[in-house]
């Protein structure tokens, strides 16, 4: 619905919700003022989440645990991770559910060291603005990294891809450490859309 060119939006909802598949609609939106809009904590811009980094990361972990217990695909499409975050507790025995990080942005260190991804995992068009590590992580399902952008160093040392992995050329702006990576499936390489 539109009135004088202004899109009508649900007062209680996140403005980014529809663009990213409505996965965040159960979260209360933070009102940032008329011009900036209102967003759930996940889609609120960096510095505008209204909660501390620790509180935000706790919310992320709760969402992981909730989706896993409900046996749903975890969806963080378009989410903005504003600072360092470590997923190191999600190793084998406490593994990640299938997950989508498509179009998400990590502004701080994204630490996936020794994480066990139990299903298909998607980082399509994900932006890693800072360092990331997937050292000794295990991807049990397919791992999609098409058009992901790593602006700083990324480590895939001893990472295990038990199924196919999809990566784009040009994803790594500062290079990638890939010592002893195990590819059990196919590695599909794609040229970038923009050089």
Residues that bind Zn ion (CB under 5 A): 14, 16-17, 24, 40, 43
Under DSSP, is residue 133 helix (H, G, I), strand (E, B) or coil?
A: strand
- Report whether 163 contacts 186 (CB < 8 A): no
Q: How far apart are alpha carbons 38 and 16 in whole angstroms?
A: 9
Nearer CB in complex with Zn ion: 14/110: 14
Least distance between Zn ion and beta carbon 176 (Å): 30
Least distance between Zn ion and beta carbon 61 (Å): 17
Least distance between Zn ion and beta carbon 35 (Å): 18
Least distance between Zn ion and beta carbon 127 (Å): 17
CA distances from 87 to 30, 46, 141, 171 (A): 25, 19, 18, 22
Nearest by Cα to 79 from 114, 36, 44, 29: 44
- Token pair for 158: 């001893």
Nearer CB in complex with Zn ion: 44/115: 44
Nearer CB in complex with Zn ion: 37/141: 37
Nearer CB in complex with Zn ion: 39/117: 39
């Amino acid at each position: 619905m539109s009135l004088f060119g202004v899109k009508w939006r649900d007062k209680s909802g996140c403005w980014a919700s529809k663009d990213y598949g409505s996965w965040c609609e159960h979260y209360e939106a933070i009102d940032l003022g008329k011009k900036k809009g209102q967003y759930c904590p996940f889609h609120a811009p960096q510095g505008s989440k209204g909660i501390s980094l620790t509180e935000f990361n706790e919310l992320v972990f709760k969402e992981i645990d909730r989706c896993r217990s409900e046996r749903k695909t975890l969806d963080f499409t378009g989410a903005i991770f504003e600072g360092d975050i470590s997923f190191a507790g999600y190793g084998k025995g406490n593994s990640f559910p299938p997950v989508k990080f498509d179009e998400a942005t990590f502004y701080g260190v994204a630490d996936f060291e020794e994480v066990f991804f139990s299903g298909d995992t998607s980082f399509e068009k994900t932006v890693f603005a800072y360092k990331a590590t997937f050292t000794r992580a295990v991807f049990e399902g397919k791992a999609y990294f098409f058009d992901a952008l790593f602006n700083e160093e990324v480590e895939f040392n001893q990472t295990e891809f038990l199924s196919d992995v999809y990566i784009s050329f040009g994803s790594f702006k500062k290079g990638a450490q890939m010592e002893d990576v195990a590819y059990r499936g196919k590695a599909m390489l794609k040229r970038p859309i923009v050089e």
